[in-house]
Structure 1
Amino acid sequence: MANVSTYSAWRRSGKKGSKDHPLSIYRTYDEILPKNLDPTDVVIKIHAVSLNYREIAMLIGTYPVEIEDRGVPCSDAAAEVVATGSAVSRFAVGDRVCPITGIGKLEPFDDGMSQAIGSNCPGVLREYAVFDQKHLVAIPAHLSWEEASTLPCAGLTAWNSLDGLKNVPKGASALLQGTGGVSMFALILCLSAGIRPIITSSSDEKLAAIKKLSPEIQGLNYKTVSDHKTEILRLTGGKGSLMDDISFLCERGGTVSMVGFLNGFDADWAPGDIMRLMGKAAKLKGIAVGSRLEFEDMNRYLEENEVHLSPLLVDQPFTFAKAQDAYDRLESGKFHGKIIIKLDS
């Protein structure tokens, strides 16, 4: 670690913003690394950070969890272990790791309170950080820093939305709404598992670019296609998938994964509509990222199948000094995949 005692970070300007008076982010240069580590502490040097829409939501006051006052933002990073406490057994100096998003969420059915890094506890938009070893996972060896930085939130959310790719039926299709990080990560997972992905967007340009990745990818422009149900039936060979209405869902055994909050938490489905899931033997799942165990399962799959995540990295990465520009790009929505901030190596 070469006697590093202070480092640089970005912080939010306060605790509560609004759409009319959003918070901003500002850079600091005098963050202090602890001189003494607890026995299971791990010091990491952060190499890449990927942004999620939650970063904007925290600035404009629409994020559903109370956030830390002047906290360090961002939850997703890829990093290198540079120092360890006396009792650390899971990692060694030089290992490549990601922090888990939910501090305390180690197994799928852990039912206690957890903290979400980058919101109600310090995030990863900084040069160095200290985490307990139990809150870190090893990065698949074949992934770059930039690819690996997409794993903690977008990656794990996509993985759990697809049921961890367990028992994938032959000829399965998945309808992926939007072209953001979770949908694009899910698209990559679908292609790796033989699931036909159908991705939606209001931009023909985005759809054309994404369809170049594989002939298996189908696209649907939800603004220019008026009859969504007929088009979905055509794209799925008559099986159907959910778009606007539960009646669109495949006839038997489909899964609907509810992800994100871009349009808030209001829903148009009446209780009677949801009961129609029963007749289709369908499953409705709420997805809140995932646990460390699920993260490790995903990483094992990615490594065993040598799944690369480069299709997520369409934009050039931003430098750490240009973090504000990265936020502006994220807020614009004029991209697909992930926005990456790359720190100096």
Structure 2
Amino acid sequence: MALPKTYRAFRHSKGNTPTTLDLATEELPSSLKSNEVLIRIHAVSLNYRDVAMMHGTYPVKIIERCIPASDCAAEVVGIGSEVHDFQIGDRVAPIFDLNNIDGTEEERLVLGGDVDGVLCEYAVFDRNVLFHLPKHLSWEEAACITCAGVTAWNALDMPRSKGTALLQGTGGVSMFSLLICLGAGIRPIITSSSDQKLDLAKAIGGSDAVDTINYRDHPQWEEDALRFTNGRGVDVVVDNVGPSSIAQSLSSLARRGTVSLVGFLGGFDVDRFPDTVTPTLLKSATIRGISVGSKIDHQTLCDFLSEKDIGLRPIMDSVTFSFEESQAAFDHLWDANHMGKVVIKL
């Protein structure tokens, strides 16, 4: 396949937030370093982090005119002279944090923020930050793994987890958590303010395999979680809301359970944190901050999906966008009308 000299990429516009996406033309490198791999990107999936950055509500700085997005599925189209673990045509993706190979990194280097992301047609990466994607997934499905998938994997404390998990909402991390629960034999309880989304979640897992709670109709949702578990409580909460929900998350836990903090949909107001020490002590509970995972985690999740390939496919929103419609994809995610992962197809 003849490679072009230039390729298209979207970059954040200059100026005050909310920013927009500007289409840019980038030059393809004329040669690769010995350890580099050139990939052609076929699909990109978005995370709430991506749109929060665009709207100035994400609590980190991003580089000027950054190429957004961290999650993609790609094909190897060029390799350096010392690359032996990847071949032309392999299906790959880069890990979320380029410094996190084995979980011992001291400083983060995250795609789509600290460095340019993957909302582009081609990209070059060091071979050490790439992992092999499951062969049975489509490009669009495979693009959902990097951030949401690995976050869900770690939030559920896989592969050690068992019992019951409470999943907040029906966004990308929660729906990937649902997928993992169904494959691992963990009983999922999922919350939403939409009965339609809850019905879809039940349809995915089977009406007898998934418990649901409409938190708008049942604002004390921790009581429903206790009822579903016969008063025992859940083993893990995948908490996407943050400070405003931590008290209820702890109340819904079984003894020695875990609250995995993965999101901030309820905002970053730390003054809204209740007394977490007392219930944590009384239940011998654990509160964990989750920040995606290592390359080892990425590949372990892919191996799990490959082993459980019958019916275990990442859950995508009903609307898929073209590369030219990338701005509309960001707007769609920001409007929160999606269920599962919002995907851009190149």
TM-based fold match above 0.5: yes
In the alignment, is residue 340 of structure 1 matched against residue 343 of structure 2? yes
In the alignment, is residue 163 of structure 1 matched against residue 167 of structure 2? no
CA contact (8 A) 2:97 2:294 kept: yes
Given candidates 194, 199, 215, the residue that maps to 1:203 is 194
Cα deviation for residue 112 of structure 1 reads 2.0
What residue number does 1:84 align with?
A: 79
What residue number does 1:25 align with?
A: 21
Cα deviation for residue 189 of structure 1 reads 0.3
Cα–Cα, structure 1 residues 118 and 226, in superposed 2: closer, same or farther, change >3 Å? closer
Amino acid across the alignment from 1:8: R
Q: Distance in 1 between matches of 2:16 and 2:185?
A: 43
TM-score of the aligned structures, taking structure 2 as reference length: 0.91
Cα deviation for residue 307 of structure 1 reads 5.8
Q: Distance in 1 between matches of 2:82 and 2:152?
A: 34
- 3-state SS of the aligned residue for 2:300? helix
Cα deviation for residue 261 of structure 1 reads 2.3
- 3-state SS of the aligned residue for 2:276? helix
CA contact (8 A) 1:185 1:309 kept: no
Cα–Cα, structure 1 residues 61 and 233, in superposed 2: closer, same or farther, change >3 Å? same
Instruction: Provide the aligned length of Structure 1 versus Structure 2.
Output: 333
What residue number does 1:188 align with?
A: 179
Given candidates 62, 65, 70, the residue that maps to 1:67 is 62
1:1-345 paired onto structure 2 within 5 Å: 1-14=1-14, 17-18=16-17, 22-28=18-24, 30-108=25-103, 110-166=104-160, 168-169=161-162, 172-213=163-204, 214-215=206-207, 216-241=209-234, 244-245=247-248, 248-267=251-270, 268-270=272-274, 272-306=275-309, 308-310=311-313, 312-343=315-346
Q: Distance in 1 between matches of 2:71 and 2:257?
A: 30
Cα–Cα, structure 1 residues 226 and 4, in superposed 2: closer, same or farther, change >3 Å? closer
Amino acid across the alignment from 2:23: R
Cα deviation for residue 158 of structure 1 reads 0.1
Q: Distance in 2 between matches of 1:322 and 1:314?
A: 15
Q: Distance in 2 between matches of 1:303 and 1:100?
A: 18
What are the ranges of 5 or more consecutive residues in structure 1 without an aligned counterpart?
none
Cα–Cα, structure 1 residues 174 and 90, in superposed 2: closer, same or farther, change >3 Å? same
Cα–Cα, structure 1 residues 161 and 248, in superposed 2: closer, same or farther, change >3 Å? same
Cα deviation for residue 114 of structure 1 reads 2.4
4+ residue segments displaced more than 2 Å: 226-230, 241-247, 261-270, 272-276, 307-311
Amino acid across the alignment from 1:156: V
Amino acid across the alignment from 1:218: D
What are the ranges of 5 or more consecutive residues in structure 2 without an aligned counterpart?
238-244
Amino acid across the alignment from 1:220: I
Percentage of identical aligned residues:
45
Q: Distance in 2 between matches of 1:186 and 1:319?
A: 26
State the Cα RMSD in Å: 1.7
Stretch moving more, 221-230 or 91-100: 221-230
Cα–Cα, structure 1 residues 89 and 302, in superposed 2: closer, same or farther, change >3 Å? same
Q: Distance in 2 between matches of 1:315 and 1:251?
A: 35
Q: Distance in 1 between matches of 2:316 and 2:110?
A: 25
Cα deviation for residue 308 of structure 1 reads 4.7
Cα deviation for residue 94 of structure 1 reads 0.5
Cα deviation for residue 123 of structure 1 reads 0.6
- 3-state SS of the aligned residue for 2:44? strand
CA contact (8 A) 1:180 1:336 kept: yes
TM-score of the aligned structures, taking structure 1 as reference length: 0.92
CA contact (8 A) 2:140 2:345 kept: yes
Stretch moving more, 96-105 or 309-318: 309-318
Q: Distance in 2 between matches of 1:127 and 1:199?
A: 36
